[in-house]
Structure 1
Amino acid sequence: MQNPNAQFQTPNLIRCSWAGTDPLYQKYHDEEWGKPVFDDKILFEFLILEGAQAGLSWITILRRRETYRKAFANFDVGKVAAFDEIEFQRLMNDAGIIRNKLKINGAITNAKLFIDIQKEYGSFVNYVWGFMPNGKPILNNVKSMADVPARTEISDQISKDMKKRGFKFFGTTICYAFMQATGMVNDHLLNCCAR
């Protein structure tokens, strides 16, 4: 006899192994990672979050994302760029974020530089996606997570240009993670449900 609830049962989904079993990580994997972002506000959010993540696990930052959102003015780049010493001290006292002096100063510096790029290119989208071939995402053929690089020539180029402009906490490895997070590259496994 056929199970009457069969149509409502979800088959076991195949995900990239890094998504693990944490529901927050799985949701991020399924709904955001590898999906192209053409919105300056979201790109700025990931710039802040990826910089905060340096040396830590991504899940550590993901679990604090809402706190970061509150601490950094809902990722309003103009407000963050205007943060002064009082705001800096508030952030240093916020137990909900990574209280690293260099990372917090870096986020404020990066906000100012992000605005400079918006003025120069019309948007950060135009700038960063301008490094991509034909302005399109790269869909990699990933058979196993061992095939995923930590950096590429494009992440080297973006990182080098941004460092020259004064950006902090945006080396080539962080840049590549940013590219994955914002769908500039899609590194989902070939058999992954989110591909």
Structure 2
Amino acid sequence: MNDSGMEQPQEMWAAFLKGDDSGLEKLYQLYFDQLYAYGFRYCADAVFVEDAIQDLFIKFINTRHKLTLPVSVKNYLFRSFKNLLIDKLRAEKRLSANDSPFEFTLAVDDTVMEKEQAMLLQQKLQKAMEQLTARQREAIYLRFYENFSYQEISSILDLSPKATYKLMARSIEALRVIYKAGAAIILWALQASFLF
């Protein structure tokens, strides 16, 4: 446990690896909502996404003897969940081999600015986001909503760090052109927004 007395994800995972299933149960409770929100952007079928999360954690139990302690538990969970979810979607023919749908909607926090300005910003940014590729939207989601580092995003998207930086730069540049604003304004707008 850390100084605040709260058990950290690394400690929960380490306990699970040593045979304590409560460590995995705590991780399930800690990350379920985030994994669900991420999965729902690939497939808007709540039961399917919930089943996929449960399948992931069952897989961890069944393969515990092969698992190690990751550098970032959250990153490992997201990467593992994405791979399992895509495999399940393809197995059920809900997704072709070349598809990678990823959808999300922006909403601006009303405390950041007046409601009228917030609505205008939300509408303009949402229209701009809809013109990005699914991969670009996913990179922006992981960076600005889940606060993953570029290194972690590269792991989740199965890209090199250099390709991840390029993808993010191209995404922001595309938003800048579509939104007709400077890169600084786009970054501010993304940081002032939250995703639901």
TM-score w.r.t. the length of structure 2 is 0.23
Whose helix proportion is higher, 1 or 2? 2
TM-score w.r.t. the length of structure 1 is 0.23
Greater relative contact order (CA < 8 Å, ≥ 6 in sequence): 1
